Amino acid sequence: MKARLFLIAATVCVLIPSPAFAWGKTGHRVVAALADAQLSGLARAHIKEILGGAESLDEAATWPDEMRSDPAPFWQKKSGPYHYVTLNGVVYDHAPPEGDALEALNRYSATLRDPNASLADKQLALRFIVHLVGDLHQPLHVGKCCDKGGNEVKVKWFGRDLNLHSVWDSALVDDEQLSFTELAAKLQRHTSNEDVIRWWDINPRDWISESGQIRETLYPEMPPKGAKDKKGQPAVPELSYAYVYKLTPVMEQRLKQAGVRLAAYLNAIYAQPQPAAR
């Protein structure tokens, strides 16, 4: 009986949509790996001082998502809005009272520059910065009003029930079934010096506006109102090879841009030597 109940519970857990994690683990680690290759010597030294020798930048990149399971009030009640911004257009206005990704990025950047901040505070700040730069390059984490960044847009992904946000968090990134190191190496080979020069931008409002413009191109055509699928259920867009072919280049460019911008952002923070955190 217990085994049967466990099986039912496990099945229900599989069917419940997961929370919105920008890029998923693969995408965030790719961004960090691309940035790591472009860090200045000074930025690399400061980052190693903060993270220590046992944690790499790509490991730090997924930490803010992994900590969402922590029962502490900060993770359960406060940090959720830090992973996205809402943009009803292409120009960022201001953060809501609960904060958002840009407000958090600015605050954690100030922590890294604060000579009086503790080592623990700087570790938290650095991990969030690495994560948030990736978040702001995921177009559906620059969400528009009323569909929760595509979470409420139901789709079929090669016949599987998903939402549009999940497609962009992980399904599209993982379509080739490459490890994050393989995907990072592929994207690095296809990033030119001209790309790096053109994308070297430390203004997050620019990244947000780019994501807002791209976001509108990601939504599939919706079935006619009242349409039903073969099982008599409300019809939803069916995404497969054509969507992959059309939008994989967009996804890859956003990952490459995020890697370049993360390096630029960290290099700017550590443009001058700072006292070591204790």
For the chain, the average pLDDT equals 91
| Sign of CA pseudo-dihedral 24, 28, 30, 33 | negative
User: Could you say which of 1.20.1250.20, 3.40.50.10420, 3.40.50.2300, 1.10.575.10 is the CATH number of the domain covering 24-269?
Assistant: 1.10.575.10
Q: Is the pLDDT of residue 17 over 60?
A: no
| Residue percentage of the chain with pLDDT more than 70 | 92
The pTM for the full model equals: 0.91
Q: Residue 111 has what pLDDT?
A: 97
Q: Is the pLDDT of residue 234 over 70?
A: yes
- Three-class DSSP category at 162: strand
Note whether 149 and 140 are within 8 A (CB): yes
Confidence of residue 189 (pLDDT cuts 50, 70, 90): very high
150 φψ region: left (φ > 0), alpha (ψ -120 to 50), beta (else) = left
Q: Residue 27 has what pLDDT?
A: 98
Q: Residue 2 has what pLDDT?
A: 36
∠ CA 142-144-149 to the nearest 5 degrees?
Answer: 65
Confidence of residue 91 (pLDDT cuts 50, 70, 90): confident
At 117-131, the pLDDT tens digits run: 999 999 999 999 999
Ordered by start, the domain boundaries in the chain are 24-269
89 φψ region: left (φ > 0), alpha (ψ -120 to 50), beta (else) = left
